[in-house]
Amino acid sequence: MPEKVPAPAEQANPHLCLNVLTAQRPRGKMAQIRWLWPGIVEAIEAGHTLKEICAHLQQYGLDISYSLFRHYAARLRHRGATKQHAKGTTVAAVRTAASISPAAPARGTDAVPSPFDPLANLRERLANRPGFQFEERPPDDSKLF
């Protein structure tokens, strides 16, 4: 049985090994799109279409068809939305809340987030019902003519 040769000192740290591995381009097409996903999202938010992004990636050596790229992008979008939904908030909700509340506390302050309340919307709508509200109690005799 062959003996194990100890790794050199610079390769002994597993974090360095993983850093080298994460810097390399993955082999699979889905893995490559997942690896490039943060940049793709930035390009989408900047106003570029998936077709433009795919053409740009094809120019720089990523061999993928537009339909497959679109399919992978949809899967990654759905996976991101599912993860954010599991956390109880979405990126759009955070951005909207940040833009609406001008008196939002600074990042350095100790702001306590409110607990997640799934019935908050229902309570708010019941408190502010539009239109006529019929009182179910008998009428007050002093208010009658």
User: Residue 52: which of 83, 73, 25, 32 has the closest Cα?
Assistant: 73
CA contacts within 13 A on the Cβ side of 51: 0
Residue 103 binned pLDDT confidence (cut-offs 50, 70, 90): very low
Q: How far is residue 12's CA from residue 6's CA, in Å, rounded to a whole number?
A: 8
> Per residue in 83-96, pLDDT tens?
655 555 444 444 44
CB 81, CB 90: distance < 8 Å: yes
What are the sequence ranges of the domains in the chain? Answer: 14-95
Enter the pTM of the model. 0.48
- Phi then psi for residue 41, to 5 deg, are -65, -40
| Mean pLDDT to the nearest integer, 32-42 | 93
Q: What's the mean pLDDT when you consider all of the chain?
A: 76
pLDDT of residue 65: 95
pLDDT tens profile 1-27: 555 555 555 446 777 888 888 888 888
